[in-house]
Amino acid sequence: MEKISITRQELYDLIWSAPISRLAKNYGILDYQLRKICNDFNIPVPQNGYWQKLKYNKPVSKIALPPDLNEDKKILLSANGQENGQTAQSASHSELDIILNDPNTPSSVPEVLTKPHFLTVETKRHWADFKLKRYEYDRSIPHLSIRVEKPNRNRALIFMDTLVKLLEYRGHKVVIKNTETHAILFGVEIQLDLREAGKRIPNPPGSYPTFEVVPTGELILKTGKYSIDKEWRDGKILIEQMLPKIIVWMEAKASDWAEMMANNELDRHNKKMKQEFEAAKKALQEQELNSFNELLLDAERFNKAKMLRIYIEAFKENALGNGPIAIETELWIQWALKRADWYDPLTNAENLPFENR
């Protein structure tokens, strides 16, 4: 198939022009493969819910493309899914088949620890520091959540090392928070905890404690909490052989959870917009009612001002009928007319101070 060569800037523009799932299908590759390319070339991608927020005109932020040493390096994409040295996979294959059939995927747990991950190295350093200092150990050393007896430490460490590497190969992250190990898939955190199963052995009658917990050598990996919660335990099949299924399960759960959170966020946004619309509508109605009441008051004042002028005119005519108008009467008529003008909303006369008639 013909390969397409694009620059880092062009891929960045492409990534922010349409959802990754749609772009991946256009190039015949999988979402995680395209995400991995972006990660390899330090290209930021839209966060979960970005396109839904954009669809409903909700404010979104676009992450700027940071400078990188690979700025001028060409990025190859091809319709058959072979890009940047990755093995082609059909988009119709299940995620499990993809993991199992990709020779570059670190899904097989080795017998010997090779090229350990940074967190694996730090975990070994934590164990050594704890053994040396006990309760005064360095709590700043990040370490994987592994709780097994010493004979099983090496096996547990190799398994967790492979798990972390596979997660990162698939485009996810693993971080340590408050001594807990968290995998971040599609923006969703799934806690990881590896422990050794124990078996209760009763002590003789009258003894205290009544039983002892004896390690069995069986490993149990717990993934997640609450709604994302599953235990993977040694049985006829060891957890090392379950690793691809564990990753696929985590990705499916995280994807569903991310979509649910995006929908919930969208619902909250729509509810907030509705509340704001109703509040604005109510404020407009109140403003309209206030304006109407002011209109009624102005009309009442206009009628009363008109009645005042009619009365003043009648008063003046009556005074003239009795002969020349006295100075005091003339002053009163002027005062009354000013008060009528002040009360009339159409004349908009200034508020006059009280005067002696």
Q: In this model, does residue 53 exceed pLDDT 90?
A: no
Q: pLDDT band at residue 262, thresholds of 50, 70 and 90?
A: confident
Q: Mean pLDDT across the stretch 155-164? A: 97
Q: What pLDDT is attached to residue 40?
A: 83
Position 9 in a domain: yes
Position 47 in a domain: yes
Position 162 in a domain: no
Structure confidence by residue, pLDDT tens digits, 106-134? 889 999 999 999 999 999 999 999 999 98
Q: What pLDDT is attached to residue 24?
A: 80
Short-list 61, 70, 50, CA closest to 9: 70
Structure confidence by residue, pLDDT tens digits, 192-228? 999 999 988 888 888 888 888 888 999 999 999 877 8
Position with higher pLDDT, 325 vs 165: 165
Position 224 in a domain: no
Position 84 in a domain: yes
Q: Is this structure's pTM higher than 0.85? A: no
The Cα 189–Cα 177 span in angstroms is 11
Short-list 65, 59, 89, 72, CA closest to 14: 65
Q: Mean pLDDT across the stretch 7-33? A: 83
The pair of structure tokens assigned to 152 is 């099983």
Q: In this model, does residue 1 exceed pLDDT 70?
A: no
Position 31 in a domain: yes
Q: What pLDDT is attached to residue 337?
A: 93
Q: Mean pLDDT across the stretch 30-53? A: 82
Q: Is the peptide bond before 116 cis (omega within 30 degrees of 0)?
A: no
Q: What pLDDT is attached to residue 54?
A: 81
Q: Of all residues in the chain, what percent carry a pLDDT higher than 90?
A: 50
* pLDDT mean across residues, the chain: 86
Q: Mean pLDDT across the stretch 31-42? A: 82
Position 338 in a domain: no
The Cα 282–Cα 291 span in angstroms is 14
Total domains, the chain: 1
Q: In this model, does residue 85 exceed pLDDT 70?
A: no
Residue with tokens 């599609």: 186
Domain containing residue 36: 1-90
